[in-house]
Amino acid sequence: MPRALLQLEKMIFTSVQHRIRIVSRLKPITCSLKHKRPFSTTSSTTKDTNTNHAFDRKLKTLQRKNVAQNLPSTYHQHYDYFRQELASRLVDRLDDIIRDEGFPLALDIGSGPGHLYKKIVNDDAISGQGGIGGVRKLVMLDSCEEMLHRDDGELENLSKEEKDRSGVYHMVADEEGKLPFPDGTFDLVLSSAAMHWVNDLPEMWKEVKRVLKPDGCFMFAMVGGATLTELRSSLVLAEMERKFL
């Protein structure tokens, strides 16, 4: 391994170890603010002052609303490639699962404008009816109504063959809350590039298990700790260089 990479790894490891020692010495504190800051992740109306969510869901929904409403369609065409690739890889894995009649009824949590739906209807099921994975009806659920309906025109322009493969239903609901479906409703639950904005993943997964049928399937893709490691290393190195200046 080149000497420069070894030095970089050593610097990153030393920085992480130093941060761990600092964090281990910190004691939890509880404070109340009279005025909420515009981009704060805590709310002055929250009853439990010891709960500090990592993400402000209302602020995130507002940001996504602004993106869906105010940016031109050419922006989405240029910058949606990452989500499209994630959706494509996730849907391709449905063909690896052998299940009688596939997954007729599916739920897409945090669906956005419908990247998964476009991939599902792009081809026929290997066996039986429906799109890829045997999906014949997809419920697209998202907390941002504007983002949910952003590509309605594009979905309307799909070919008759694609529309016949699978129907679609749009629903506005909070991904973090109780899912508005009875127990054992869906054959399949999907989520692509949405769960990294969820504050309480274990509680959300409990809801997913509740709405799934006993032999149902849950598949998701999310941004994790090993994503864009080169960018992470560059940011850590830049921060260390700034400290030494």
pLDDT for res 13:
53
Q: Which has the minimum average pLDDT: 24-28, 123-127, 168-172, 211-215?
A: 24-28
The type of residue at 22 is: I
Q: Has residue 164 got a pLDDT over 80?
A: yes
Backbone angles phi, psi at 124, to 5 degrees: -80, 160
Residue 33 CB contacts under 8 Å (≥ 6 apart), including other chains: 40, 42, 44
For 95, 114, 123, 132, 140, the CA distances from 136, given in Å and listed in that order, are 15, 15, 12, 9, 13
> DSSP alpha helices (H): ranges in the chain?
3-25, 57-70, 73-79, 81-92, 115-120, 145-148, 152-156, 160-165, 201-211, 229-244
pLDDT for res 206:
96
What number is the average pLDDT over the span 102-121?
A: 96
For 2, 10, 79, 147, 171, the CA distances from 115, given in Å and listed in that order, are 41, 40, 13, 12, 15
In the structure encoding, which two tokens stand for residue 116, read together? 């998964």
The number of CA neighbours under 13 Å toward the Cβ of 62 is 7
Q: Which CATH class is domain 73-221?
A: alpha beta
Q: Where is pLDDT greater, at 10 or 179?
A: 179
The Cβ of residue 203 has, within 10 Å, a number of other Cβ atoms equal to 12
Q: Which has the minimum average pLDDT: 21-35, 62-76, 200-214, 218-232?
A: 21-35
pLDDT for res 169:
97
What does the pLDDT look like over 13-72, one tens digit per residue? 555 454 444 434 444 434 333 334 333 344 444 444 445 678 888 999 999 999 999 888
Find where tokens 């052998």 sit.
98
Q: Has residue 211 got a pLDDT over 70?
A: yes
What does the pLDDT look like over 170-183, one tens digit per residue? 999 999 999 999 99
Orientation of helix 229-244 relative to helix 3-25, angle to 10°: 80
Output DSSP code: residue 31. -
